[in-house]
Structure 1
Amino acid sequence: MKMSWFSLVLLLLSLTINNLSEAGHGHKLRSAVVSGTVYCDICFQQDFSKAHHFISGASVAVECKDGESRPSFRQVAKTNEQGEFKVRLPFSVTKHVKKIKGCSVKLVRSSEPYCAVASSSTSSSLHLKSTKQGTKVFSAGFLSFKPLKLPNLCNRKPSVVADSKEYNTPHTLDF
Structure 2
Amino acid sequence: MLRRRALLGFWLSVLLVAGFCHCDDKSVEVVGIGECADCEQTNIKTIHAFSGLRVAIDCKVADGKFKTIGVGELDSEGKFKVKLPREIAKENGELKEECYAQLHSASSTPCPTHSGLETSKIIFKSKDNGKHTFGPAGKLAFSPITCTSAFLWPFFKYPPKVLPQLPPKPYYPPKVFPQLPPKPYYPPKVFPPLPPKPYYPPIYKKPLPPPIPIYKKPLPPPIPIYKKPPIPIYKKPLPPPIPIYKKPLLPPIPVYKKPLLPPIPVYKKPPHIPIYKPKPPIYKKPPHIPIYKPKPPIYKKPWPPIPKLPSLPKIPPIYKKPHPPFPKLPPIPKKPFFHKKPLPHLPKFPPISKIPPKVFSPP
Task: Go from structure 1 to structure 2 and tell me whether the alpha carbon gap of 1:139 and 1:65 turns closer, same or farther (over 3 Å shift).
Answer: same
Decide which of 40, 57, 60 is 2:55's aligned counterpart: 60
In the alignment, structure 1 residue 144 sits paired with structure 2 residue 141:
yes
Residue in structure 1 matched with residue 72 of structure 2 by the alignment: 77
Tell me, in whole angstroms, the C-alpha distance in 1 between the residues paired with 2:61 and 2:145: 35
In the alignment, structure 1 residue 118 sits paired with structure 2 residue 112:
yes
- CA deviation vs aligned residue, 1:99-146 (integer Å, no higher than 9, x gap): 3x41111111159xxxx9633424211222222331111111310211
The structure with the greater share of residues assigned to strand is 1
Give the drift of 1:26. 8.0
Tell me, in whole angstroms, the C-alpha distance in 1 between the residues paired with 2:125 and 2:95: 17
Kindly, what percent of the aligned residue pairs are identical? Answer: 30
Task: Go from structure 1 to structure 2 and tell me whether the alpha carbon gap of 1:74 and 1:27 turns closer, same or farther (over 3 Å shift).
Answer: closer
Q: Secondary structure at the match of 1:60?
A: strand
List structure 1 runs of 4+ shifted beyond 3 angstroms: 23-29, 51-54, 70-73, 95-98
In the alignment, structure 1 residue 39 sits paired with structure 2 residue 51:
no
Give the drift of 1:89. 0.9
Q: Secondary structure at the match of 1:118?
A: coil
AA aligned to 2:101 is V
Decide which of 96, 105, 110 is 1:109's aligned counterpart: 105
Instruction: Give ranges in structure 1 of 5+ residues lacking alignment.
Output: 1-22, 45-50, 150-170
8 Å CA contact retained: 1:35, 1:139: yes
The structure with the greater share of residues assigned to helix is 1
Greater Cα radius of gyration, structure 1 or 2: 2
Instruction: Give ranges in structure 2 of 5+ residues lacking alignment.
Output: 1-17, 147-151, 153-363
- CA deviation vs aligned residue, 1:11-54 (integer Å, no higher than 9, x gap): xxxxxxxxxxxx9498664221112111211179xxxxxx9946
Tell me, in whole angstroms, the C-alpha distance in 1 between the residues paired with 2:56 and 2:128: 23
- CA deviation vs aligned residue, 1:135-160 (integer Å, no higher than 9, x gap): 111111310211449xxxxxxxxxxx
Question: Which structure carries more relative contact order (alpha carbon 8 Å, separation 6+)?
Answer: 1
8 Å CA contact retained: 2:28, 2:132: yes
Root mean square deviation of aligned Cα: 3.7
Task: Go from structure 1 to structure 2 and tell me whether the alpha carbon gap of 1:118 and 1:37 turns closer, same or farther (over 3 Å shift).
Answer: same
Residue in structure 2 matched with residue 89 of structure 1 by the alignment: 84
Residue in structure 1 matched with residue 317 of structure 2 by the alignment: none
Residue in structure 1 matched with residue 311 of structure 2 by the alignment: none
